[in-house]
Amino acid sequence: MSRAYFVTGTDTGVGKTLVAAALLRAAAAQGLRALGMKPVAAGGDEDVEALIAASNVASPRELINPYPLREPLSPHLAARRDGITIDLEVIAHRCDALRGLADFLVVEGAGGFRVPLSATLDGADLAARLGLPLVLVVGLRLGCLNHALLTAEAIRARGLALAGWVACQVEPAMAGVAENIDTLRARLQAPPLGVVPFLDEPDPARVALQLELPS
């Protein structure tokens, strides 16, 4: 069975896709068959394309992205406007199919860990259904410590493993970056996998050199 991880974030826009694609490139550089999955993508296919570009295994797009949603909204709202109900069993079945094709699978969630997916389900339910260890992307900006600690607490409350975390600087002028990273190291109780500085032009290949793969 392949190694597989669920990448979640402290919020939307914190660098999840960049980190997910970088992990795939790092795995491919180690000779692994690497494949990305984005179960729910709302408002465009840029994230899906980034994961496909970083993968070195081909797969049908309907497996990689079961739910492409048209509008850039919370998935439960975008799905409602498209007349779609997101089904966790559909995602789980396609995730299993992808695991059969790869040595290293990265499943990127939508938004933050508890983002709503339907009237009753959210991203935590999806992570729990897949049962994969999680990689948490912490967007370095004011408030990130609270967001990171709450997210880690929510992950453990669902009985899931936090395999590691990546700090991704999203505010170029953030004060106290080193001190915030030190606080995360002391309090997250999970291995740090790398720190991504603010980049004017994010490049997964470059970021891959700065990350460790989760074990």
Q: What stretches of the chain show up as alpha helix (H) in DSSP?
A: 16-29, 46-54, 61-64, 75-81, 88-99, 123-130, 144-157, 177-187, 204-208
Per the CB < 8 A criterion, the answer to whether 23 and 5 are in contact is: yes
Split at pLDDT 50, 70, 90, the class of 1 is: low
Regarding the domain delimited by 3-208, which CATH topology (the fold level of the hierarchy) does it fall under? Answer: Rossmann fold (3.40.50)
Task: Tell me what pLDDT residue 2 has.
Answer: 83
| pLDDT surpassing 80 at residue 167 | yes
Q: Is 38 among the catalytic positions?
A: yes
Task: Tell me what pLDDT residue 146 has.
Answer: 98
Question: Which residue among 3, 25, 38, 99 is the active-site one?
Answer: 38
pTM above 0.85, yes or no: yes
Mean per-residue pLDDT of the chain: 97
Split at pLDDT 50, 70, 90, the class of 117 is: very high
Distance set, CA 3 to CA 70, 137, 160, 214 (Å): 31, 19, 15, 9
